Amino acid sequence: MGDSRLPAHLEIAAIIRLVEAGGGFATVLAKGERDAGTILLVATQNGHSAQLYERMPQLDGSRAWTLSKEQDPEKLGEFSEYLDRRKRQDSDVWILEADIADGAQFIANLPG
């Protein structure tokens, strides 16, 4: 059976539209592989309190959005350095930043 995932570029476009429909702003920080790249979603509120979400495999075979890193307000540069490191490790990765009022709730409503 083939992979039923939506191509990454279409999923990115859909997430951007959902963010904008919710009154937020989204921008692509890194473009990855067009069809099968990993998507990292950075949720911020008014440009602060960045949280990094990515889909992680679950025991039942599904993939759920999971919080993998939070920005430390005392070490702001550390979060950016982490994103840069991820880009260097995986040239296929997409990084999307979404500035939206309730990032955790937004992510919870995204399909896995």
Give yes or no for residue 2 having a pLDDT over 60.
Answer: no
Q: Token pair for residue 79? A: 């979060």
pLDDT confidence of residue 3: 55
State whether residue 7 is helix, strand or coil. coil
pLDDT tens per residue, range 35-66: 988 999 999 999 889 999 998 888 888 888 99
Short-list 39, 89, 103, 7, CA closest to 28 = 39
pLDDT higher at 45 or 1: 45
Cβ proximity of 92 and 37 under 8 Å: yes
Q: For residue 91, what are the domain limits?
A: 8-108
Domain contains 45:
yes
pLDDT higher at 62 or 31: 31
Domain contains 2:
no
Q: How many distinct structural domains can be found in the chain?
A: 1
Domain contains 3:
no
Cβ proximity of 55 and 27 under 8 Å: no
Across the chain, mean pLDDT equals 91
Domain contains 77:
yes
- Cα angle 99, 97, 89 (rounded to 5 degrees) comes to 160
CATH number of the domain that residue 57 is part of: 3.40.1530.20
Domain contains 30:
yes
